[in-house]
Structure 1
Amino acid sequence: MTLTRAALRYKLAPYGHAVVGKGAFSIVYKATEEGSGKTVVLKKSRVSTRVKRPTLQHESRMLQLLNGHAAIPAAYGYGQLEHFEYISMELLGPSLAEQQKDGTGVMVKTVIRIVDQVLAALQHIHDLGIVHRDIKPENMLCSPSDPSKIKIIDFSISKLFSHGQPTKYDPLRERKGIVGTIYWASLNSHNGLDLAPRDDLESLAFVALYLLRGTLPWKPRPREESQVRSQEIVRLMKSSCSGSDLSDGFPKEFGELLSYSRSMEFNQLPDYTTLRLAFQSIAEGKCYTGNNGPLDWTPCYPKLLGPILVEPAFPDTEDEDTDFDEDEDDLGKNSYCGWDMDIWDRNGNRDKDLTLPAALKAELDYRTPVIVHVQGN
């Protein structure tokens, strides 16, 4: 007897309420599952049927592989229809970036709870041989059913660990982008090294220090600046900042998390137990234990002791590129707008390094219900 995968149909929320987010290659909508009436988010990306290893198909497989941990959102289905592909997922609450007020810090007890949960999530991810590669506040969302819990999203560039020596390229000389997001990426990413668990840990350290401080010494780059110029300026500034510099005025364990991540070898797994115990010790010392309620987002205004950096000089380069998107305000109005067509041009075959073994792909795809219809797109 041949078993068939379940078929899912969705209807997008009414115009004006449907779009809830945007990724590098996707738009995220609120939608309703026909039959059950369940509200979900539907992540949509333009892709040709000729493309091998499309973005959301890879993310769907990663979510199925990681399923079973409290910090991993539920994925309900995947489908490729005409010129688009879709993942339906659990509806989540605001991200850490949305919860934090502009320019203010977050209470130490809240940051400790976040770090502890993300360390547990990273241990689950890394134990399965996967590196996330884009840890940042925008990819950490609160659970609407339990606002004390954090979930990790966006596994579109996650990959299995590489073995042996890491690959390396020169982003500046070769005029290539780095893996991840410039503001949160590890120094290894800026230097063109293949990423490993140590790099997820370094990005988590940046997130924790940012939440405490309300800012980091390197500023978000101007949108019209070339990607290569932005990468190099931020790389030089990150190289000038040690963990002890960035954690001055806060518990030293936050700076030690950054220092530890930078000291690790490529093939080394973090000592998650020791790291979590260190942050639990801070909580016990400050009598933060026993607080299992919603995370406290009361703004803090810390007195930052350092470091203060001057932006390094960087020569102008010819043929500067830009990621500026003139059609950003048109998201959701027309699925064939200029932004969509730009995605069509850029979303080619995925990096072969993101390919899972054939047998594993077949198993993961078999587990995933198929999205067969989306109304209102």
Structure 2
Amino acid sequence: MYLQTSKYQVLSMIGQGSAHQVFKAEHNLTQKLFAIKMEKSPKLGQIEGEIKVLKELNGIEGVPNLIHHGITPENKCFLIMPLLNCSLRDLVKSQQLSLSCILAIGLSLIETLENVHKKNILHLDIKPENIMISQKIQKNSKDQLLKPGFIQLIDFGLSQTLGNSKFLKNVFIGSLNFASRASHKGEQLGYKDDLESLFYVLVYLRNCNLPWSQKPSMGFKNMDIKFIGEMKTSIFNTMTLCQKFPLEFSKFMSYINELKHYQMPDYSLIKEMFIKMLQTTSFSPIMDQFLNNSPIQSINQLGNSETMQLPIDKHLLNNNSIETQIQDDIIDIEAKVVHLSDLIGKYTTVQIKSIQTLNIDYDYNFSNQ
């Protein structure tokens, strides 16, 4: 594989999706490791769109820096980012995370989403595979989990700006397990849909599954989308998803339900909810200090007397951990669902089709699987 630049040597492939591949590469001068994300076929459009989004989000903690980008001699678009340690999916394959760790991860991601949404950008594909740990976690992980930028939100290939009605309506966007109810219905999407996907991620981390994740495929993508969407709608606003969380978590769920798609969430309120949950699980109740400062900074100011340990497999957390999961990642448990999202990537924003039109592509691809 040849890039526009000779500064990097490609070492190995560490993952792939339906439309892209991810490689580990080494800088020839510094010997530092990086990740190269590249289209499988020329001019698919998703990576080109992701490059534009990453430029817009430059400098936001919790979003990877765009190191370099370009086009290969084969006209495949690529981008280069820092090499991160492992995803949340990798972590839960090893051991279940503690409640305190899950809430800390949630608080960090809410901080990141607030800054992303202030740019009027929606992620639209929040799931455990797209949430990364930037480096190896130490035994006393509280400071690390709450440190700005330690939790990284990746893969902005489906991201769009708010109000892009041609793209954000009449199309299912995201992965089946973690997409919002509105996405299942083909409704207009907005800020609340990212929060709803994050809500499902936290429930998944707590329970190691979701009520609809083990349901058998109907064999037809539209039926799957409708069936799982109806399950989410029937369960949302019940205590089914909140049983293993403090009371404030159900308030978070109710708040998401009350938001309009165009309404900017009250992030101060949401962060206060998570701070209260963290207080009840592992932290001292110093509410005034939390409310007067940045929540993440305030929690870290509590000192080392309050620790939060993350039970993990040390073998999993190294620079090669993603490679050890390559066979699982190539055939992802949500591959059939992500496939439809990748069909969307074949069109530019102005060319985007309705879900009915996309079915033509889907039926062709499904019949050839």
Q: Does 1:267 align with 2:262?
A: yes
In the alignment of these two chains, the number of paired residues is: 296
2:136 and 2:65 mapped to 1: Cα distance? 13
For residues 345 and 250 of structure 1, the distance between their equivalents in structure 2, rounded to whole angstroms, comes to 36
Question: In 2, distance between residues paired with 1:28 and 1:296?
Answer: 31
Q: Which structure is larger by alpha-carbon Rg, 1 or 2? A: 1
Q: 5 Å matches for 1:117-196?
A: 117-144=108-135, 148=145, 149-162=150-163, 168-169=169-170, 178-196=172-190
Q: Is the 8 A contact 2:167 2:349 kept in 1?
A: no
Indicate which of 89, 98, 106 corresponds to 2:81.
89
Q: For residues 305-346 of structure 1, what are the alpha-carbon distances to aligned partners after superposition, in whole Å with 9 as ceiling and x for unaligned? A: xxxxxxxxxxxxxxxxxxxxxxx97x99xxxxxxxxxxx999
Higher normalized contact order (CA 8 Å, seq sep 6+, divided by chain length): 1
How do 1:11-22 residues align onto structure 2 when only pairs under 5 Å count? 11-13=9-11, 18-22=12-16
Which ranges in structure 2 are unaligned for 5 or more consecutive residues? 138-143, 285-301, 313-325, 331-341, 353-369
Gaps of 5+ in 1: 1-5, 170-176, 300-327, 333-343, 355-377
> How far is 1:223 from its partner?
6.7
CA deviation string 1:334-368 (max 9, x = no partner) = xxxxxxxxxx99963422389xxxxxxxxxxxxxx
Among candidates 43, 49, 55, match of residue 46 of structure 2: 55
Q: CA deviation at 1:298?
A: 2.9
Q: Work out which of the residue numbers 271, 281, 285 in structure 2 matches 1:276.
A: 271
Residue 119 of structure 1: how far off its partner (Å): 0.4
Contact 1:40 1:88 in 2 (8 A): yes
Q: How much does 1:21 deviate?
A: 1.4
Question: Shift of the alpha carbon at 1:233?
Answer: 1.6
Q: Distance in 2 between matches of 1:241 and 1:285?
A: 26
CA displacement at 1:164 relative to structure 2: 8.4
TM-score, normalization by structure 2: 0.71
Determine if contact 1:109/1:288 at 8 Å carries over to the other structure. no
- Aligned runs of 1:199-210 on 2, under 5 Å? 199-210=193-204
Kindly state the Cα deviation for residue 187 of structure 1 after the two structures are TM-superposed: 0.4
Q: Structure 1 length as normaliser, TM-score?
A: 0.70
1:295 positional shift: 6.9
More helix by share: 2
CA change 1:221–1:353 in 2 (3 A) is: farther
Compute the displacement of 1:215 (Å).
Answer: 1.8
Q: Determine what percentage of the aligned residue pairs are the same residue.
A: 26
Of the three residues 94, 97, 106, the one matched with 2:97 is 106
1:74 corresponds to: 65
Pairwise CA RMSD of aligned residues? 3.3
Contact in 2 for aligned 1:47/1:347 (Cα 8 Å): no
Q: State the alpha-carbon separation in 2 of the partners of residues 267 and 193 from structure 1.
A: 12
After superposing the two structures, state which structure 1 stretch, 115-124 or 235-244, moved more.
235-244
Question: What is the DSSP-based 3-state SS (H/G/I as helix, E as strand, rest coil) of the residue aligned with 2:78?
Answer: strand
User: Aligned pair in 2 of structure 1 residues 95, 165: CA closer, same or farther (>3 Å)?
Assistant: closer
Aligned pair in 2 of structure 1 residues 249, 143: CA closer, same or farther (>3 Å)?
Answer: closer
8 Å contact from structure 2 (residues 249, 273) kept in 1: no
- Match of 1:298? 311
CA distance in 2, matches of 1:200, 1:345: 21
The answer to whether the 8 Å contact 2:127/2:178 transfers is: yes
